[in-house]
Amino acid sequence: MNEDDFEGTLVLEKLAAIGKLDEFFEAVDSDDFETAQSLMKQASIDVETIATVLDKMANPDGEH
């Protein structure tokens, strides 16, 4: 899973708006699900989208 998986998405836009984009990608890169989820909640991302992102983190091979 990399930045291209999110390119142009509302997730990135909302994280950038709160200045947490780099922190989010660090969490994704280190498989830190708790931090990634917390950052998305801070960015007011809906629960369904958070679940999708966490699923992509858990299953980065594209089988969703």
User: What is the tens place of the pLDDT at every residue in 36-57?
Assistant: 999 999 999 999 889 989 998 8
What is the tens place of the pLDDT at every residue in 8-40?
588 999 999 999 999 999 999 999 999 999 999
Query: For position 16, what pLDDT does the model report?
Result: 95
- Using CA atoms, how far apart are residues 8 and 30, in angstroms rounded to an integer? 22
Q: Which residue has the tokens 């994280």?
A: 15
Is residue 60 pLDDT above 80, yes or no?
Answer: no
Q: CA-CA distance, 63 to 44, in Å (whole number)?
A: 26
Cα–Cα distance, 32 to 19 (Å, whole number): 18
Angle ∠(33,25,16) on CA atoms, nearest 5: 115
The pLDDT score that the predictor gives to residue 6 is 58
Helix (H, G, I), strand (E, B) or coil at 18: coil
